[in-house]
């Protein structure tokens, strides 16, 4: 970490050696010295002050230190040259001990003082000057260059002390330079001084002891304490059970302590040197006896008998009478047969809630024949009462906890059960034959209501009516401020935690917002149990294993209407379900065995009620604030304060932000650190809001909705941001020049069975837009906080918020804005287009300049309910009220414009631009009315029209005859044949007609806040020979046609890195073909083909939202890039052409492709043919994948979900899946068909199908192994179309790189695989890679350019070519000379030689030649220099002949 205080650095200046800390950057931007800001070990802290008022930099570093398993650290400072070691601070009572103390000169010794001194000396001795003890420019002198921090000067709140006290890390402080900010030119010298010291100090991490702590099964034990005798500073093991313990050479005794295991005997350890750590591993034995302080615990003998109802009643009455000071016996109600459902309360003040004391409950015998829990609780009651006042642990638990124990929730069922019945069902249910653990209200009950009446799951529900036992339990749960609970069962051995169900009723891990807390609670019980922790419950169920002895309920099996989910959803109570043994009703003689196994776990689990955060919430007058909501960070599950203002919030160790919201009070939040195995006290004092603010705040903590001084900025940027923050609920699109926000519980999913409500902002002014945005914020936060009215609205409706662009500043009351007539006309045109492009069941425009409701000329029945909402309250809206001011601009008569477009006009303001305070207060006044309007979405009729065979009649016509004689047409969804329609309460007659069928009238009764389900079957008209099921009668094309391109575009804009769509092809008579990439390009890749119209693209959107949500949570596993090939819309018939699919696969080089088809899996013969054609290595992978797909197919059929048979009949197009071999041979790609299941008459499950199909593919990919990587040049440029060969000889398979140089190949596990790669223009390369059971092995080939020519290295080739060329020239020259000489000899011509000429030498004729060859010999000649003016009669002796010394030669020479 180069800089912990970047703000301070920016304020400082180079060359300032002794800066003034107030002005030159020593402190952070808040003027706080960060090395005085950490919690100090000698200051008194409650747990909240550990982080209270800490600086952001301090908090981040504290979290960093605690979240990482650091062993050694150094904090680098300047201002001196010395190594300083802990402790930095002195105890507060130093003045009492030493009155003359002056903040220095006194050592503060840590338990590891000798280790710290050694570490400081390591650095000092290897520093070039520090070991001298004094440096020029420094005023201080330190012996050996080291000092104890406090002895130098007292520093409270230092970081090195915090490291040592709160983590495993040993840290010292290094002062490196006398000058705090030296000139840059001196830094090289500083580096030379410190280089060796820095490296040597880092090597000190290897001194001492290291190892791993495991249990007898080899499972790592986390959080165990490593104890060194004589050193009062234990360290803890990491998540992986590892530890590192810094020690200097010497003899030590080490042991391990862990509350779940026996203390290990002290082991002698001898450390000889500091170079290599001594490895000491520990194995700890599991124990259920971790802490006892009285021999009486060992003397307790459980009663080895089963107690029937009378015996149990007598026993409870006797114990209550015997121990009246700590017990109270009461009944929560009676069973069906009138038996009391008893509870024995055990606490020091029975019968009353002590403020600040948490309440705990155990519930046994919910299933009457599961009796182990019943007898364990009866023995636990005796155990507690007999040891109260004798054993410190039990006494403390009773005096600090209000414990409620219900031995039997189902006494009637127990009386029917039989001893020795290990796995039967007699007595399991109550006497009404209802399973009580399926009888509680469930969070997904609404999903059952949406199923058709013919669906057996709807009729099999066991929670339509609550049984007497269930009713009294629900009342009991809600009557006490329970914090923690366990429900004791039998039949297995495991701790089971919520959730028990899923929205689609399919087995999968179903997390609560408090998943980590529930896992910790479950693990606590399992670890304390003698055998549960092993995870192997029953000898006769070898296939059942629970890692760590715990399981998520829904991952084990689905339970709808379970009690543990009800506790969590409807109260503060966290409940888990404990399966205490595989024998449901063991013989009495075995009760002692069960008691011995469960005793410690039962006690240990109760103690967990004291782990987390607790406190009181009061107002400024110290009055208790009950019902306040306590939120933790982003956990979407608040708890509520009790009547005394006390609260308890279970949490695992860590740092959290806690906030409190209460109606009528100002919200408050703070941070807190939760320690292991203890509770942190955190109290809140809330400021009471004024009556005006309280009214504005309403009941939902949306700060933006009660802000009276801020105008919401509504534009594409803010709405896109709002959509991203609420991606699981909100979609945003820009429609021409309007903003369109869609809010629902599943945006983008099929919504034809939901009511669509359009809310349009004001045409002029901000009032309408402001109201709508406040309402949108209310819905999103209400959904997160699980407000039931909001959940119900978004389950039944899609709310469309349409915003008209306005200026970003607020005008005056009558301001009509600066829009021109053309701009307003363009907006109205866009609004009309948007309203016509979609079906809206109800549309409301929010205008201004009047107060009231106005309706379109075409009356709808639901308008009656709108009038009632406002008329039956003091809303002040009971018609249309003129605001009294003249309307200067006719454009502001917005109500007329809205009603002309078919919208209801709702005007709440007289001003076009009301004051901000008026905006906030008016919204608050009418918020309840607006929510009531939205709740009308759950009032009316819904259903389906079927033929005699139960198939949907999509072209049927449904109309409703109203009381006044008018008729309303009901919209039928042409995708599913379902219909839904809003209606006020009353009686109606439905008229149903379809071509070829007899018309039918149905009487229906609609009640308030309820959707009446109506399924109508039509009989064939015998007078019509041929029925018609034509799609030509489409009245609303938008009901059926859907083009995903727009949705994909929105996803791309929000997640450009993770989603990209592209055009692939345009097929004649079959529409456009799209490619869709989802995932990062560097991830593994798989192709998925929607063959034909197998799946409507609408189904992809729900999957995409879940995917992006997982990406945000960093929980995408495996990291796979999905490439989809699909049709752009579902309005065209015909499948994808074979050539289109071939080209797409070949271009992308997929290792695997899954072709989603309908009811057409490969036959056994086809599979055999395919497997025989592919290579042996690919064959093994293909066999594995086909086997996994077969299991997934079987699961589909078991779960009874799929597409309608009628739909499948039209969609069967096996297409490319019959060309598997051709695809493999041409591209190396393995293609597998994934067949959808056909379910007669069930169209509702078609949308579910794609989610589970993709889920199965994802699970399949997670279980594959192989190799992936990149092929690049030495310049790191990707090499596309490089060929990779895996294996060798007859066991070989190939792959190619894509356009990014990426490749991957699924392979079965093998010790080693030879991978060869070749690419044109590059040298071949190879590697041997091990394929392991973990993630894909990643490799990178860096290819070198192939410079060879004709197989010869380029340089050698150049040299050879040059030599050859020169040789050719020489030979050619010689040939020329020889030829010329021969011609000369043959012709008798002269041959000439050459010599270097003087510039004055000119040969003008033959006589002046130097020499000539005549008769085979060279003749020398005299050579004269003649000037032009030289006379010919000049005498011979005046001439100057030149003798040229050249030897003569002849032809033979």
Largest CA distance in the chain: 171
Beta carbons of 990 and 967 less than 8 angstroms apart: no
What per-residue string of b and e applies to 1380-1406 under the rule 16 or more CB within 10 Å gives b?
eeeeeeeeeeeeeeeeeeeeeeeeeee
The residues that bridge with 162 in the sheet, in sequence order, are none
Contact between 652 and 520 (Cβ < 8 Å)? yes
Residues whose CB falls within 8 Å of the CB of residue 97, separated by 6 or more in sequence, listed in order: none
Short-list 486, 518, 479, CA closest to 650: 518
The secondary structure of 29-45 as a DSSP string is TTS--GGG-SPPTTS--
Q: Which two tokens stand for residue 1445?
A: 């010394």
According to DSSP, the β-strands at 612-619 and 646-650 are antiparallel
Nearest CA among 315, 518, 308, 500 for reference residue 416:
308
Query: Strand 940-946 relative to strand 904-907: parallel, antiparallel, unpaired?
Result: unpaired
**What is the SS3 assignment for 414?**
helix
Rounded Cα distance between 996 and 368, Å, is 56
Whole-angstrom distance, CA of residue 669 vs CA of residue 682: 11
CA distance 866 to 878: 11
Catalytic residue among 175, 357, 370, 968: 175
Both structure tokens of 379: 């023995």
CA distance 1128 to 1117: 28
H or E element in which residue 1337 lies? strand 1337-1343
Contact partners, residue 952, CB within 8 Å, separation at least 6? 944, 945, 946, 976, 977, 978, 1204, 1206, 1241, 1243
Strand partners, 1284: 1295, 1317
Active site residue 915: no
CA pair distance 1453, 1451, nearest whole angstrom: 6
Bridge-based pairing of strands 574-581 and 482-489 is parallel
Is the previous residue joined to 1171 through a cis bond, with omega within 30 degrees of 0?
A: no
Strands (E), 373-417: 402-406
**The two structure tokens encoding residue 1042:** 């859907």
What would the 3-class secondary structure string for 119-133 be?
HHHHHHHHCCCHHHC
Measured distance CA(414)–CA(777) in Å, rounded: 51
What is the number of H-type helices and E-type strands within the chain? 36, 60
CA triple 136-137-140, angle to 5 deg = 85
For 1378, the token pair is: 């020889």
**Contact between 728 and 1105 (Cβ < 8 Å):** yes
Annotation says 579 is catalytic: yes
Active-site position among 57, 467, 579, 913? 579
- Half-sphere exposure of 582 toward its Cβ, with a 13 Å CA cutoff? 12
If you ran DSSP here, which 8-state letter would residue 1048 be given? Answer: H
Distances in whole angstroms, Cα of residue 1229 to Cα of each of 41, 1151, 1220: 64, 5, 9
Query: Smallest Cα–Cα separation from 284: which of 268, 297, 303, 265?
Result: 265
Cα separation of 212 and 222, whole Å? 10
Strands 250-257 and 1337-1343: unpaired
Cα separation values, 628 from 157, 572, 804, Å: 35, 12, 38
Q: Which residues are catalytic?
A: 175, 579
């Amino acid at each position: 970490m180069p800089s912990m205080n970047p703000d301070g650095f920016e304020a400082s200046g180079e060359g300032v050696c002794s800066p003034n800390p107030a002005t030159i950057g020593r402190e952070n931007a808040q003027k706080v010295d960060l090395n005085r800001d950490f919690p100090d070990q000698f200051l008194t802290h409650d747990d909240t002050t550990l982080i209270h008022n800490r600086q952001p930099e301090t908090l981040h570093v504290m979290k960093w230190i605690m979240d990482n398993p650091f062993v050694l650290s150094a904090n680098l400072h300047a201002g001196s040259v010395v190594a300083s070691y802990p402790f930095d601070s002195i105890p507060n009572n130093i003045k009492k001990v030493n009155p003359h103390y002056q903040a220095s000169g006194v050592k503060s010794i840590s338990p590891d003082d000798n280790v710290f001194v050694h570490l400081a000396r390591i650095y000092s001795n290897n520093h070039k000057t520090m070991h001298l003890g004094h440096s020029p420019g420094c005023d201080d002198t330190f012996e050996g260059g080291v000092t104890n921090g406090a002895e130098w000067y007292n520093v409270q709140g230092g970081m090195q002390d915090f490291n040592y006290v709160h983590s495993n890390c040993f840290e010292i402080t290094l002062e490196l330079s006398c000058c705090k900010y030296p000139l840059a030119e001196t830094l090289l010298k500083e580096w030379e001084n410190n280089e060796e010291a820095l490296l040597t100090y880092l090597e000190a991490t290897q001194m001492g002891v290291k190892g791993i702590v495991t249990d007898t099964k080899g499972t790592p034990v986390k959080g165990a304490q490593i104890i060194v005798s004589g050193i009062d500073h234990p360290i803890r093991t990491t998540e992986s059970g590892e530890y590192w313990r810094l020690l200097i050479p010497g003899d030590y005794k080490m042991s391990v302590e862990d509350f779940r295991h026996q203390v290990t005997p002290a082991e002698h350890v001898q450390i000889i040197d500091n170079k290599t750590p001594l490895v000491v591993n520990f194995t700890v034995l599991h124990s259920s006896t971790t802490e006892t302080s009285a021999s009486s615990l060992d003397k307790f003998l459980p009663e080895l008998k089963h107690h029937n109802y009378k015996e149990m009643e007598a026993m409870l009455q006797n114990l209550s009478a015997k121990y009246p000071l700590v017990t109270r016996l009461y009944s929560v109600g009676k069973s069906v047969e009138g038996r009391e459902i008893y509870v024995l309360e055990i606490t020091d003040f029975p019968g009353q809630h002590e403020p600040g004391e948490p309440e705990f409950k155990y519930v046994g015998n919910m299933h009457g024949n599961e009796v182990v829990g019943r007898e364990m609780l009866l023995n636990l009651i005796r155990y507690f009462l007999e040891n109260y006042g004798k054993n410190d642990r039990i006494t403390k638990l009773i005096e600090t906890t209000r414990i409620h124990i219900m031995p039997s929730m189902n006494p009637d069922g127990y009386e029917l059960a039989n001893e020795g019945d290990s796995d039967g069902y007699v007595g399991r249910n109550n006497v009404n034959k209802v399973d009580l653990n399926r009888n509680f209200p469930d969070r997904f009950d609404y999903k059952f209501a949406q199923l058709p009446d013919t669906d057996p799951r709807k009729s099999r529900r066991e929670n339509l009516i609550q049984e007497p036992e269930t009713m009294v339990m629900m009342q009991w749960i809600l009557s006490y401020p329970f914090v923690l609970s366990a429900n004791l069962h039998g039949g297995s051995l495991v701790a089971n935690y919520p959730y028990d169900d899923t929205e689609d009723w399919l087995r999968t891990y179903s997390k609560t917002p408090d998943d980590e807390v529930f896992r910790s609670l479950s693990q606590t019980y399992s670890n304390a149990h003698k055998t549960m922790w092993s995870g192997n419950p029953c000898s006769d169920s070898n296939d059942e294993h629970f890692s760590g002895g715990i399981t998520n309920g829904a991952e084990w099996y689905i339970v709808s209407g379970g009690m543990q989910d009800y506790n969590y959803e409807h109260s503060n109570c966290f409940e888990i379900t404990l399966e205490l043994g595989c024998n449901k009703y063991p013989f009495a003689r075995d009760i002692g065995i069960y008691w011995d196994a469960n005793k410690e776990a039962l006690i240990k689990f109760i103690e967990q009620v004291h782990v987390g955060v607790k406190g009181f919430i009061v107002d400024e007058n110290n009055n208790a604030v009950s019902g306040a909501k306590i939120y933790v960070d982003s956990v979407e599950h608040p708890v509520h304060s009790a009547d005394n203002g006390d609260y308890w919030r279970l949490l695992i160790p860590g740092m959290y932000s806690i906030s409190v919201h209460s109606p009528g009070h100002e919200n408050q939040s703070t941070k807190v650190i939760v320690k292991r195995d203890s509770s942190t006290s955190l109290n809140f004092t809330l400021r009471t809001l004024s009556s005006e603010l309280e009214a504005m705040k309403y009941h939902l903590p949306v700060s933006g909705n009660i802000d009276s001084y801020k105008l919401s900025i509504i534009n594409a940027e803010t709405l896109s941001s709002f959509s991203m923050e609420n991606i699981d609920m909100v979609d945003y699109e820009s429609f021409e020049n309007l903003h369109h926000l869609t809010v629902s519980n599943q945006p983008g999913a099929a919504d034809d069975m939901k009511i669509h409500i359009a809310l349009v902002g004001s045409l002029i002014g901000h009032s309408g837009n402001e109201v709508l945005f406040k309402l949108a914020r209310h819905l999103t936060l209400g959904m997160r906080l699980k407000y039931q009215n909001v959940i119900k609205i978004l389950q039944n409706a899609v709310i469309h918020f349409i915003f008209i662009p306005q200026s970003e500043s607020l005008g005056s009351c009558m301001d009509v804005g600066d829009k021109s007539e053309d701009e307003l006309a363009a907006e109205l045109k866009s609004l009309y287009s948007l309203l016509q492009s979609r079906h809206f069941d109800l549309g409301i425009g929010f205008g201004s300049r009047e107060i009231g409701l106005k309706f379109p000329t075409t009356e709808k029945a639901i308008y009656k309910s709108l009038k009632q909402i406002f008329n039956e309250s003091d809303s002040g809206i009971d018609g249309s009220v003129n605001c009294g001011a003249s309307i200067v601009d006719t454009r502001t008569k917005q109500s007329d414009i809205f009603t002309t477009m078919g919208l209801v006009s709702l005007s709440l303001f007289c001003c076009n631009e009301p004051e901000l305070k008026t905006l906030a207060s008016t919204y608050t006044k009418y918020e309840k009315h607006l929510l009531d309007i939205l709740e009308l979405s759950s009032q009316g009729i819904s259903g389906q029209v079927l033929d005699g065979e139960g198939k949907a009649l999509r072209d049927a016509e449904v109309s409703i005859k109203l009381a006044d004689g008018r008729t309303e047409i009901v919209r039928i969804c042409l995708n599913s044949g379902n219909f839904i329609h809003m209606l006020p309460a009353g009686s109606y007659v439905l008229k149903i007609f379809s071509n070829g069928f007899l018309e039918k009238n149905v009487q229906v009764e609609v009640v308030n806040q309820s959707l009446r389900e109506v399924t109508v079957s039509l009989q064939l008209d015998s007078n019509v020979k041929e029925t018609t099921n034509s799609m030509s009668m489409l009245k609303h094309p938008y009901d059926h046609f859907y083009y995903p391109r727009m949705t994909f575009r929105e996803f791309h804009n929000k997640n450009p890195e993770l989603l990209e769509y592209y055009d692939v092809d345009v097929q004649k008579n079959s529409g456009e073909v799209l490619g869709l990439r989802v995932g990062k390009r560097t991830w593994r890749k798989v192709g998925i083909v929607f063959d034909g119209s197998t799946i409507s693209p609408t189904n992809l959107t729900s999957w995409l939202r879940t995917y992006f949500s997982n990406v945000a949570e960093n929980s995408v596993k495996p990291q796979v890039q999905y490439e989809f090939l699909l049709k752009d819309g579902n309005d065209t018939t015909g499948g994808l052409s074979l050539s289109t699919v071939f080209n797409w696969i070949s271009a992308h080089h997929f290792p695997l492709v899954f072709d989603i088809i309908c009811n057409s899996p490969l036959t056994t013969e086809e599979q055999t043919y395919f497997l025989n054609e592919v290579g042996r290595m690919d064959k093994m992978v293909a066999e594995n994948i086909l086997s996994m797909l077969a299991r997934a197919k079987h699961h589909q059929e078991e779960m009874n979900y799929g597409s309608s048979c009628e739909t499948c009949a039209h969609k069967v197009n096996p297409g490319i899946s019959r060309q598997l071999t051709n695809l493999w041979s041409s591209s190396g790609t393995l293609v597998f068909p994934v067949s959808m299941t056909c379910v007669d008459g069930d169209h509702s499950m078609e949308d579910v199908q794609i989610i589970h199909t993709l889920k199965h593919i994802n699970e399949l990919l997670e279980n594959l192994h192989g190799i992936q990587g990149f092929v690049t040049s030495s310049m790191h440029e990707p090499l596309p179309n490089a060929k990779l060969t895996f294996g060798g000889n007859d066991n070989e398979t190939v792959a190619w790189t894509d356009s990014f140089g990426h490749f991957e190949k699924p392979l079965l596990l093998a010790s080693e695989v030879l991978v060869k790669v070749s690419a044109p223009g590059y040298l071949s390369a190879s590697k041997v890679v091990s394929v392991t059971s973990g993630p894909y092995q990643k490799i990178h080939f860096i290819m070198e350019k192939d410079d060879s020519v004709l197989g010869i290295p380029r340089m050698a080739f150049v040299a050879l070519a040059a030599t050859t060329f020169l040789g050719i020239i020489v030979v050619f020259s010689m040939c020329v000379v020889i030829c010329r000489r021969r011609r000369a000899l043959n012709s008798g011509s002269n041959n000439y030689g050459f010599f270097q000429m003087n510039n004055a030498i000119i040969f003008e004729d033959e006589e002046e030649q130097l020499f000539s060859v005549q008769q085979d010999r060279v003749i020398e000649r005299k050579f004269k220099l003649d000037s032009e003016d030289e006379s010919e009669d000049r005498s011979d002796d005046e001439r100057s002949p030149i003798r040229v010394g050249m030897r003569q030669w002849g032809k033979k020479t």
